[in-house]
Structure 1
């Protein structure tokens, strides 16, 4: 029987952590498909800027078209499906190469990295940068997801670093 080495433990921890994040992605997808209306309302309110502090200098940024609200929401859903798919492929590739050489295991990380980069785009660029800085989301009492998105990014960034670092032999 193979002894559990530190190298093997690190490899398994990378597979498990990517599995956790993939599970999060699957839950997000499930929520968006099964509760489209509630999640759509969030997107519509943020884009319309109808619940933010009324700063006349920023109102020109509002997108009030329901058609654009749906399209932007579907873009977000598509990106979430994409990141989840890449993360799941990453878990599969990492697990498949768990006993491979260090080089092969390191190469198996590419789908995980792609999935995490897409997730950073969604939760950092789209929500924190565009949502907060452009649509003034953080001034809304009811439709503010700044802290929620920050907590996700706070998990993704260290995970990305941990996955990418080549410490396996």
Structure 2
């Protein structure tokens, strides 16, 4: 243990955080495929705005087509598969380059950063921005991902910053 430098510890922590993100992505993907109908129902209610207070000013925003609901859900699933795949590849490259030069370790971060950016797109842009601002998801007492998406972003954004910063020597 005495041979473990702070630089090595930082590298291990970055690779381990990406392992956590990969695990999160794998669980999300498992749930999407194993319990398709529950998550689909959630998304369908958000898109159709059928549980938000009726307001004619916003009614035109609702997407009520089940076909559109499935397509949008499959787009989200595809993005979550991409996010998980990039995080997995990034994790592999970070662990693989733990003992390489600082430049090589820093370059190994690119897949991890891409995966994290895709996840920010999903959970911030899709759920927080579009879900809340366009579909008024936060007004629904039952079908609301607002707090959950915020918890996810509260973890992902600092991980992205920490992974991206070049602290290795």
Report the TM range for the smaller structure's normalisation. over 0.9
Output the CA distance in 1 between the equivalents of 2:52 and 2:24. 29
**What's the counterpart of residue 63 of structure 1?**
63
Structure 1, unaligned runs of 5 or more = none
| Deviation sequence 1:123-155 (CA, Å, 0-9, x none) | 000000000000000000110110100010010
User: d(CA) in 2 for partners of 1:2 and 1:110?
Assistant: 30
Aligned counterpart, 2:76: 76
How many equivalent residue pairs? Answer: 169
Q: State the match for 1:120 in structure 2.
A: 120
Cα deviations across residues 96-144 of structure 1 (Å, max 9, x unaligned)? Answer: 1000100000000000000000000000000000000000000001101
After superposition, residues 1-169 of structure 1 pair within 5 angstroms as 3-169=3-169
Unaligned runs of 5+ in 2: none
Counterpart Cα distance in 2 of 1:55 and 1:4 = 61
Q: What is the CA deviation profile of residues 31-60 of structure 1, one whole-angstrom value per residue up to 9, with x for unaligned ones? A: 000000000000100000000111110010
CA distance in 2 between counterparts of 1:124 and 1:55 reads 25
* TM-score (normalizing by structure 1): 0.99
Runs of 4+ in 1 over 4 A off after TM superposition: none
TM-score of the aligned structures, taking structure 2 as reference length: 0.99
